[in-house]
Chain A
């Protein structure tokens, strides 16, 4: 544990430390760009994982790269932890502040330049994901990764999390759509990863920066690839009377050599919640529905939609509807894209899980989740990026009820561990952050976690950039392991014993 943390232990010491840090930062930033009173910093206490909150010591809002460099130099010199933050839409607590640290808000870095000739955009880190595609639209181009939060989330955050979206089966993740990241190392030194060409000399550091959750460097500018907007897109909504056949249909589409632009699954509970929220015209009788999209030239889409229909029918679809026009296609998607807020409408709180499993295990996983609903006495609604096996079970609970919250956490951990057992991973696109630290103990050995820490220290020897995220300590994993061994003995009388 570094000195900054222990120094913050007592209130008086914290106040003294805060004054010193604010004074140092005031040398390089206008006063209005430094927030430290509780009422000013409250808005930064959490990201979209609202169950975890920490009051940061200081929040800074720089506007220039020179200011970012200067802030990092000061924090490095004073051993102050730094947590970079974009729009705060992350779902795993990757931007949860450090109590003795500085939140580096990069929201003011909002400029971009589209280069239609090279099909690239040079984008400052605070630019919203959707704004890139909107700005590129007049050139017939767009930025492919489209996380559900794309209206608000920033490209800097996308780089930190290696964000995906509903179209990444065909178009890839952030990693596949970024050429270069410019930014700063923890000591304030400027650095570039990747290049304006398709590769760069030496180790592929861009790969390790993307998805590093702000722990290796601070991103200030990103060069993204833009791709031609498909001339046309159509979406099939296919209903299934049982979950098994829906899962098998997903595998069958892929087995027939089709890579849909999007392939999503929702269970009955989810479609009901969503349809009440946005009226997406879903088949509410079906046990599960699939959304299966084709895009490309009109000829290509016609051909592919035909093949998809054949496969889905053969897989036992009880009803198939192909979007007639763009309005209906968007309507189909509106339900999917509103799955999270719709869940907020049917429950005081929900916890969104994000594991990935091999596609062929989808039905098995859904059955396991159904059993867990009984075991933990909580409801769960399910949306999946079925095409790439990425699950988003939403566990419904009431955070006001401590016992329910605890059961929810155990439910979530159970889903993640089951995913690992089925050959998958604890996080497909939301990141580890603070939320899935325990689950990292399940997925990775002590040596693997130590190697992650080795990578961290190669970039940040003092562990000042977003410390405490992603890599659980040995101690934490030991405790978590113990809890498992003795799970039956834990003080949760409401839990069934097994």
Chain B
């Protein structure tokens, strides 16, 4: 292995020191997703000094970047070559990093059609709890050498180690897009989405909110034109539509921010991940549906147990994003057997629990 660069060397030193001093670290990138997951605890471990794109070959459809690279910088570099991160990771501000994107594992509007962050990670270099720098996966799309640790790290919220660099599969930006709008109630929208899912229609994203379904098509010009003709609806003006999808992607749309007053009266923002064909859920409050029905955001004052129950009955799970009583846990509780496996994996990667203790689940 090559001698690590100074920023990495400092990081390794800090982690090595943690062993003796029993320090616990709160791994920090741009700090844009502090609200997500259980409460961060520990001494901040800043990884933003690990920055920069280390390898980008557009013809390979692969980019490798260090964890502290701002996501906006990475996306700008891809855009120069007509490529993108097709899963549209949400950016909660300009400071968000590539490492944070992977650690949180959140994907945007196109997720149902193109796959998630996890699906596009090809390799990671990870600093484990023993201070060892380990590389898993690589820079090629087909790679089954050893267990797929690079994808296990996606969404792990830092509990397995410090993500140091990441290789991602990227794709060409779609040649053509169009957004169609339909004035439909929830039932009709869900029914239509489920019918369309079984047809080759180039649907790239969908969102239903307050009686209006928006569908984004993407692909070859001919395919988008054909789908527009098939689906009907009102075609929205491109720049307005793009701006609207951005507000969904980055969760800057008004729906996603709950004012202090509403928080005070017990309103919370939940993300329910359910099978797309799940019938309309009946919780109190307001809903925003994405991913062809598979992601349902709720602003509700319902009891956490009621929200979790609604998701579980549909075969999914609910995550508390903002507000409400977090003492009952942010993520859906795991079965006993899965929690034991989580604990054993934590033990394998970070035996002294120095990284992000409790950020994913209390005690982990």
- Whose C-beta in chain B lies nearest to the C-beta of A232? B200
Interface string of B131-174 (1 = CB under 8 A from A): 01111101111111111110110111001100000000001110
Chain B residues 113-133 with CB under 8 Å of chain A are 115-116, 118-119, 128, 132-133
Roughly how many angstroms separate A304 CA and B174 CA in the complex, as a whole number?
13
Q: Does B95 contact A (CB under 8 A)?
A: no
With a cutoff of 8 Å between Cβ atoms, the chain B residues found around residue A300 in the complex are: 202, 219-220, 222-223, 226
**From B330, which residue of chain A is reached at the shortest CB distance?**
A201
Q: How far is the CB of A232 from chain B (nearest CB, A)?
A: 10
Which residue from chain B places its CB closest to the CB of A115 in the assembled complex?
B277
Question: Chain A residues near B341 (CB, 8 Å)?
Answer: 185, 191, 205, 458-459
Is A364 interfacial (CB-CB < 8 Å)?
no
A451 near B132: Cβ-Cβ < 8 Å: yes
Task: List residues of chain B with CB within 8 A of the CB of A258.
Answer: 172
Contact with B along A116-137 (1 / 0, CB 8 A): 1111000000000000000000
The answer to whether A427 and B145 touch across the interface, beta carbons within 8 angstroms, is yes
Contact with B along A428-470 (1 / 0, CB 8 A): 1111100010011001110110011011111101000000001
CB of B15 closer than 8 Å to a CB of A: no
A162 with B144: CB separation less than 8 A? yes
Given contacts A172-B115, A185-B337, A198-B111, contact A203 B140 (CB under 8 A): no
A299:B59 contact, CB within 8 angstroms: no
Chain B residues with CB under 8 A of A353: none
User: Given A173-B142, A207-B118, does the pair A454, B349 have CB atoms closer than 8 Å?
Assistant: yes
**In the complex, A451 Cα to B342 Cα: how many Å?**
15
- Interchain CB contact under 8 A, A459 and B342: no
Partner of B199, one of A140, A204, A357, A428: A140
The reply to whether the CB of A8 lies closer than 8 angstroms to some CB of chain B is: no
Q: How far is the CA of A164 from the CA of B142 in the complex (A)?
A: 8
Q: Taking the nearest CB of chain B, how far is it from the CB of A383, in angstroms? A: 14
B140 A389 Cβ-Cβ under 8 A: yes
Q: B177 at the A/B interface (Cβ < 8 Å)?
A: no
Chain A residues with CB below 8 A from B317, complex form: 195, 197, 200-201
With CB as the reference atom, state the residue of chain B lying closest to A447.
B132
CB-based contact A204/B154 at 8 Å? yes
> With A117-B277, A296-B220 as given contacts, are A389 and B142 in contact (CB-CB < 8 Å)?
yes
Per-residue interface assignment for chain B, residues 75 to 103, with 1 indicating a CB less than 8 Å from any chain A CB and 0 otherwise? 00000001100000000000000000000
- A356 touching B143 by the CB < 8 A rule? yes
Contact with B along A206-250 (1 / 0, CB 8 A): 011011100010000000000011110000000000000000000
Contacts of B219 in A (CB 8 A): 296, 300
Contact present for B222 and A198 (CB under 8 Å): no
Q: Are B319 and A201 in contact (CB under 8 A)?
A: yes
Nearest Cβ distance between residue A343 and chain B, in whole angstroms? 21
**Closest Cβ of chain B: how far from A278's Cβ, in Å?**
25
- Distance in angstroms between the alpha carbons of A229 and B198 in the assembled complex: 9
- Minimum C-beta distance from A316 to chain B (A): 16
Decide: B225 and A428 in contact? CB cutoff 8 A. Answer: no
- How many residues of chain A get a CB closer than 8 Å to chain B's CBs? 94
Considering the complex, give the chain A residue whose CB is closest to the CB of B333.
A201
CA distance A436 to B156 in the complex (A): 30
Let me know if A455 and B147 touch, CB within 8 A: yes
B361 beta carbon closer than 8 Å to chain A: yes
Give the residue of A172, A201, A216 whose beta carbon is less than 8 angstroms from that of B332: A201
* Known interface pairs A175-B119, A425-B143, A445-B1; A208-B222 also in contact (CB < 8 Å): no
A208 pairs with B144, CB closer than 8 A: no
In the complex, the answer to whether A118 meets B360 with C-beta atoms within 8 Å is: no
Is B302 among interface residues, defined by CB-CB distance under 8 A? no
Contact between A202 and B361, CB atoms less than 8 A apart: yes
From B27-35, B232-240, B268-276, give the one contacting chain A.
Answer: B268-276
What residues on A are CB-neighbors of B175 within 8 Å?
Answer: 257
Asked if B338 and A356 sit within 8 Å, CB to CB, the answer is: no
> B305-318: contact bitstring with A at CB < 8 Å (1 yes, 0 no)?
00000000011110
Shortest Cβ distance from residue B119 to the other chain A in the assembled complex, whole angstroms: 5
Q: Per a CB cutoff under 8 Å, which of A252, A357, A425 touches B145? A: A425
Please count the residue pairs between chain A and chain B whose beta carbons lie under 8 angstroms apart in the complex. 261
- From B338, which residue of chain A is reached at the shortest CB distance? A202
Residue of B nearest to A170 (CB): B171
Distance to closest chain B CB from A291 (angstroms): 17
How far, in Å, is A445 (CB) from chain B's closest CB? 7
Q: Using known A-B contacts A176-B115, A447-B132, determine if residue A388 contacts B360 with beta carbons closer than 8 Å.
A: no
Q: Which residue of B lies closest to A141 (CB)?
A: B198
A205→B343 CA distance, assembly (Å): 12
Q: Most chain-B CB neighbours within 10 Å: which of A185, A228, A231, A385? A: A228
A431 to B143, CA, bound (A): 9
Residues of chain A with a CB closer than 8 A to B135's CB: 448
Q: Is the CB of B154 within 8 A of A423?
A: no
A202 and B334 within 8 A (CB): yes
Tell which of A168, A203, A430 has the most Cβ of chain B within 10 Å.
A203
Known: A296-B220, A358-B139. A198 touches B146 (CB 8 A): no
Does any Cβ of A come within 8 Å of B253's Cβ? Answer: no
B125 to chain A, nearest CB (A): 10
Q: Which residues of chain A are within 8 angstroms of B57 by Cβ–Cβ distance? A: 358, 360
Assuming the A-B contacts A228-B199, A358-B140, A440-B145, are A203 and B59 also in contact, with contact meaning beta carbons closer than 8 angstroms in the complex?
no
CB contacts (< 8 Å) of B146 on chain A: these are 432, 440, 443-444, 448, 452, 470-471
B344 near A: Cβ within 8 Å? yes
- Contact: A198 with B118, CB < 8 Å? no
Which single residue of chain A is at the shortest CB-CB distance from B315? A196
- In this complex, what residue of A is CB-closest to B220? A300
- Which residues of A are found within 8 Å of B154, using beta-carbon distances? 204, 207
Q: How many angstroms between the C-alpha atoms of A197 and B272 in the bound complex?
A: 10
A255 within 8 Å of B (CB atoms): yes
Most buried by A among B1, B202, B275: B275
CB distance from A384 to the nearest CB of B (A): 11
Task: Give, as a whole number of angstroms, the nearest-CB distance from A203 to chain B.
Answer: 6
The CA of A302 and the CA of B220, in the complex, are separated in Å by 10
Out of B58, B152, B201, which one reaches A203, CB within 8 Å?
A: B152
Check if A259 is an interface residue, CB within 8 A of chain B: yes
Pick the residue among A358, A426, A445, A458 that contacts B344 (CB under 8 A): A458
Instruction: Determine the chain A residues whose CB is within 8 A of the CB of B152 once the complex forms.
Output: 203-205, 207-208
Q: A359 within 8 Å of B by Cβ?
A: yes
Q: Does the CB pair A424–B138 fall under 8 Å?
A: yes
Q: Is the CB of A358 within 8 A of B60?
A: yes
The distance in angstroms between the C-alpha atoms of A359 and B61, with both chains bound, is 10
Using Cβ atoms and an 8 Å threshold, which residues of chain A touch B60?
Answer: 251, 254, 358-360
6 chain-A/chain-B pairs, Cβ below 8 angstroms: A199-B116, A202-B342, A388-B140, A452-B147, A458-B341, A459-B344
- Considering the complex of A and B, which 5 residue pairs feature the smallest CB-CB distances, nearest first? A299-B222, A454-B348, A257-B172, A458-B344, A207-B151
New A-B contacts (16) at CB < 8 Å, excluding given A204-B105, A448-B146: A162-B148, A172-B115, A192-B338, A195-B317, A197-B275, A202-B360, A204-B151, A356-B141, A357-B140, A358-B139, A360-B59, A428-B144, A451-B128, A457-B348, A459-B341, A470-B146
